[in-house]
């Protein structure tokens, strides 16, 4: 069976879903704009809000584009384009694809042409994130209510709990970073890249808080990602 992850059929399927999502977004945007007009809101302020919101989506879109480029190297363009345009995030999609490929003994240095491998990766990426679609509408109010009770009862412990949850989520991804440290100096490359990315993010944080460069908040993530990728490209040939 001839299969290629950049086939026309996959582009058509992915494009159809993305067009539907864009149409849905435009539908609610127009409805909201008309409703604001009916309520007598200042039209100039509405246009300004729409324009400023559109501008501030550019920065997050840069990191998403980087994710699409990274995944497209071995998964083709349609699947990463679809995943990261609708529901996915690079912090999940890349580890899910990498873990599946490693479990199947497949190298990610080349494009996946085996339909069974491609299907397995797509299923893991989909099923792994699918429970969130169910848990959020069913349990988000209870979860938020529980967190608010803890925070109202003891604000210090509430902050500690939220920090612990965030660190727990980050720790789940650190296994991939430290997985190959026994293979020698080259196994430390991901750690060096991680530290360099953290350094860039820390510098951005200092500039935002100490120098009051507020616009940098939306560009800190893309800057740290691009900087880390450039750093990895420099040190990898050296090691």
Per residue in 101-122, pLDDT (tens digit) is 888 888 777 888 888 889 999 9
pLDDT for 1 equals 58
pLDDT for 104 equals 86
pLDDT for 145 equals 80
Q: Positive or negative CA dihedral for 9, 13, 14, 16?
A: positive
Lookup: tokens for 18 = 């993305």
Please report, in tens digits, the pLDDT of each residue of the chain (239 residues total): 578 889 999 999 999 999 999 999 899 988 988 888 888 888 888 888 887 777 767 766 777 787 788 888 889 999 988 888 887 777 778 888 888 888 888 877 788 888 888 999 999 888 888 777 788 788 888 877 877 777 777 777 777 887 888 888 777 777 777 877 888 888 888 889 989 999 999 999 999 888 888 778 777 877 887 888 889 888 888 87
Helix intervals (H) in 39-114: 43-56, 58-75, 78-86, 90-103
Indicate the angle between helix axes 220-238 and 58-75, nearest 10 degrees: 40
In whole angstroms, what is the distance from residue 181 CA to residue 200 CA? Answer: 23
pLDDT for 38 equals 87
* Angle formed at CA 79 by CA 101 and CA 88, multiple of 5 degrees: 85
Count Cβ neighbours within 10 Å for each residue of 116-143 and write b for 16 or more, e otherwise: ebbebbbebbeebbeeeeeeeeeeeeee
Element (H, E) at 77: none
Say whether pTM exceeds 0.75: no
Q: Dihedral (C-alpha) 46, 52, 58, 61: value to the nearest 10 degrees?
A: -50
In whole angstroms, what is the distance from residue 34 CA to residue 47 CA? Answer: 12
DSSP secondary structure letter of residue 178:
S
pLDDT for 99 equals 83
């Amino acid at each position: 069976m001839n299969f290629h992850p950049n086939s026309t059929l996959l582009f058509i399927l992915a494009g159809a879903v993305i067009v539907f999502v864009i149409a849905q977004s435009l539908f609610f945007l127009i409805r909201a704009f008309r409703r604001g007009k009916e309520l007598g809101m200042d039209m100039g302020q509405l246009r300004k809000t729409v324009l400023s919101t559109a501008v501030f989506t550019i920065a997050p879109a840069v990191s998403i584009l980087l994710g699409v480029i990274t995944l497209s190297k071995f998964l083709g363009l349609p699947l990463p384009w679809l995943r990261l345009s609708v529901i996915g995030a690079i912090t999940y999609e890349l580890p899910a694809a990498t873990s599946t490929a490693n479990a199947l003994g497949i190298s990610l240095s080349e494009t996946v042409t085996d339909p069974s491998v491609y299907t397995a990766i797509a299923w893991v990426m989909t099923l792994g994130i699918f429970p969130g679609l169910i848990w959020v509408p069913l349990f988000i109010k209870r979860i938020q209510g529980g967190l608010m009770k803890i925070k109202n009862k003891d604000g210090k412990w509430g902050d500690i709990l939220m920090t612990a949850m965030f660190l727990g989520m980050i720790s789940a991804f650190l296994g991939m970073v430290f997985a190959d440290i026994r293979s020698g100096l080259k196994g430390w490359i991901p750690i060096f890249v991680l530290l360099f990315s953290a350094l860039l993010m820390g510098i951005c944080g200092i500039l935002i808080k100490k120098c009051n460069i507020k616009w940098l908040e939306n560009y800190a993530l893309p800057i740290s990602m691009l900087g880390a990728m450039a750093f990895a490209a420099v040190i990898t040939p050296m090691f």
